């Protein structure tokens, strides 16, 4: 749970950084606009005061409009999808349960198009003995799939020879510029595996939970 909270914090921080250019533009806009007006008013220009003042006002107005255009209504949101993926009852042998949690953090523009996306997953695996005891002790921390990196062990079994973190990075890039409707419109089979050629060359993992988490993230964007 601690690592999930840390990931959410990191994801939101990354999303905030994606929108920093908007804040900087606004800051520069105020600073440049104010500074231009003060200089023109304090330092007299006996050559052509009226014309210079008009030019200054025009430049200040033009700069303000440009920065406001660049600083669109960016919003950020987080979506979480948690599913019981596998379960085996404890009988003569031990049982187990696996709960996978996918977290997506997005930044969207004024048209609700995704301009930044971060996705990660935690696989919570619990073993249960045939006597009813749980194999994992309390406060067990589970690393995210991105944190596991190459040690996750997907590359050897992948038909394209790519690890999970490599594939999710490709999917994160693939959804940039898309609306949530377009993300959900990506063609998949019954198990959630992408069928579009421009995506299957870099992503062969199931994307259905990623689509669901992104949908929630966009819906939660504020």
pLDDT by residue, tens only, the chain of 222 residues: 434 434 444 444 444 334 443 334 444 444 444 333 333 333 344 445 455 545 545 444 444 333 344 556 899 999 999 998 878 887 778 888 889 999 999 999 999 999 999 999 999 888 888 877 888 888 888 899 999 999 999 999 999 999 999 999 999 999 999 999 999 999 999 999 999 999 999 999 999 999 999 999 999 999
d(CA 137, CA 155): 30
Inter-residue contact 214 to 79 (CB < 8 Å): yes
The residue whose two tokens read 């660049």 is 70
DSSP state, residue 18: H
Cα torsion 177, 210, 76, 4 to 10°: value is -150
The residue whose two tokens read 């490599």 is 166
The per-residue pLDDT for 220 is: 97
The per-residue pLDDT for 130 is: 80
The per-residue pLDDT for 12 is: 46
The per-residue pLDDT for 138 is: 81
State how beta strands 95-108 and 75-88 pair.
antiparallel
- Does the global pTM surpass 0.85? no
State how beta strands 75-88 and 114-128 pair.
unpaired
The residue whose two tokens read 């200089």 is 39
Q: What is the CA radius of gyration of the chain?
A: 25
Nearest Cα to 149, choosing from 173, 168, 130?
168
């Amino acid at each position: 749970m601690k690592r999930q909270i840390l990931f959410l914090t990191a994801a939101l921080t990354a999303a905030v950084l994606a929108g920093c250019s908007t804040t900087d533009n606004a800051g520069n806009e105020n600073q440049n606009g104010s500074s231009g007006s003060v200089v023109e008013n304090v330092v007299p220009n006996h050559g052509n005061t009226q014309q210079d003042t008009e030019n200054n006002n025009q430049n200040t107005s033009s700069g303000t409009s440009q920065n406001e255009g660049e600083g669109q209504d960016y919003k950020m949101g987080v979506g979480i999808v948690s599913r019981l993926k596998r379960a085996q009852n404890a009988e003569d042998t031990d049982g187990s349960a696996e709960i996978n949690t996918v977290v997506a953090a997005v930044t969207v523009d004024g048209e609700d198009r995704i301009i930044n996306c971060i996705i990660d997953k935690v696989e919570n695996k619990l073993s249960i003995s045939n006597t009813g005891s749980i194999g994992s002790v309390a406060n067990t921390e589970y690393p995210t799939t991105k944190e596991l990196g190459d040690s996750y062990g997907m590359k050897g079994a992948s038909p394209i020879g790519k690890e999970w973190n490599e594939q999710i990075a490709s999917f994160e890039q693939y959804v940039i510029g898309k609306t949530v409707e377009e993300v959900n419109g990506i063609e998949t089979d019954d198990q959630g595996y992408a069928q579009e050629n421009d995506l299957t060359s870099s992503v062969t993992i199931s994307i259905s939970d990623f689509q669901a988490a992104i949908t929630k993230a966009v819906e939660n964007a504020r």
